[in-house]
Amino acid sequence: MQLNKYLTQFLEHLEIERNRSQKTVENYNFYLSRFLDWLGKDATAKDITGESVRKFRLWLNRFTDAHGEELKKNTQNYHLIALRSFLKYLAKKDVDTLAPEKIELMKMPDREVSFLDSDDITRILEAPIKNISKKSLDKENGAGQTLLLAYRDKAILELLFSTGLRVSELSKLEIENVNLKRDEFTVLGKGGKSRVVFLSDDAKTWLQKYLDTRKDMNTYMFISHDKRFGKQKDHDEPLTPRSIQRIVQKHALEAGITKKVTPHTMRHSYATDLLQNGADIRSVQSMLGHSSITTTQIYTHITDKELKNVHKRFHGKKGLKN
């Protein structure tokens, strides 16, 4: 059987048996199709050898796109991860081909984790409502557009720091799925996996204030409130992840934070705050929705600083006694 037919079966396997998201299936299709095109349309499973994979890796490393840009190292690894998964599938089908364990991934440098310290967190959380006049906060005068947007942005920031939600998860949140009478709710994350996230008192307070101020019937938790387009839409739409990114960056600048701050920075800050305050890494893994503990371990070098402080406080204060 030609490899393209095996590829089709593999992608269907990912979608049905493995319950992978449509985006994941599309990515695997892209990476594997690139490999099969490179290998040749008449290639069979036996043509996938250690030597052919070595040459493909060399080709990836030298590849440049139409703009002269090279492939990033992690993108090259994504191709190899997809190929290894494909080979595992072929092995289960007893197809004679290269053993998946023969493929080793490129060693990557440690990921840099950008997070905010406690002072920065305080300033960015205060930014949306810091400059609202007392008049606009007076309910007798009615809630204007300025107040509505301030409450929305404040609720977004509080929720990001309280739950560690990914920006895509935050964007898709629907009002009916967040029960403000409880301190927790379930969110559907990557790969269709659900997890429980927890609300701080501040997050609950500002979400409620925001919802009380809204007059629309949109089912999504966070929306644009742009009156120019309100009458043109014939269905509910949430804020896009890009719009949420702009909101976070806007308030970071207002808070005097000069470095780039994204929703993922808030997620990193959430995880770092938990670890620095004594949470164990397995619990943080669960709260972040990481399928592998390896992903969560990118935060451990941050908490190593706390170990250094412990060492300074307690080591060598008294001479050893015989």
Q: Is 290 a catalytic residue?
A: yes
**Whether the Cβ atoms of residue 197 and residue 164 lie closer than 8 Å to each other:** yes
Active-site residue, selected from the candidate residues 31, 210, 270, 299: 299
Catalytic entry in 123, 190, 195, 250: 190
- The secondary structure of residue 247, as a DSSP letter, is H
Q: Name the active-site residue from 20, 84, 152, 166.
A: 166
- Distance separating alpha carbons of residues 187 and 190, to the nearest angstrom: 10
**Per-residue tokens: 251:** 């308030």
Catalytic residue among 57, 154, 267, 268: 267
CA-closest candidate to residue 81, choices 45, 32, 43: 32
Helices (H) and strands (E) in the chain, counts: 15, 2
Q: Letter for the amino acid at 225?
A: H
Query: Helix 145-163 to helix 241-254 angle, to the nearest 10 degrees?
Result: 100
**Helix runs in 17-72, H state only:** 22-39, 50-62
The torsion angles phi and psi of 229, rounded to 5 degrees, stand at: -110, 0
Six-digit token pair at 8?
Answer: 């089709």
Catalytic residue among 123, 209, 225, 264: 264
Within 13 Å and on the Cβ side, how many CA atoms surround 143?
Answer: 14
**C-alpha angle 61-291-156 in degrees, rounded to nearest 5:** 95
- Given a contact cutoff of 8 angstroms between Cβ atoms, the answer to whether 158 and 202 are in contact is yes
| Nearest CA-CA partner of 32 in 80, 73, 64 | 80
User: Is 268 annotated in the active site?
Assistant: no
Residue 299 a catalytic site member = yes
Q: Confirm whether 154 is a catalytic residue.
A: no
> Does the annotation count 84 as an active-site position?
no
Q: Are 84 and 100 in contact (CB under 8 A)?
A: yes
Instruction: Tell me, yes or no, if 34 is annotated catalytic.
Output: no
Just list the catalytic residues.
Answer: 166, 190, 264, 267, 290, 299
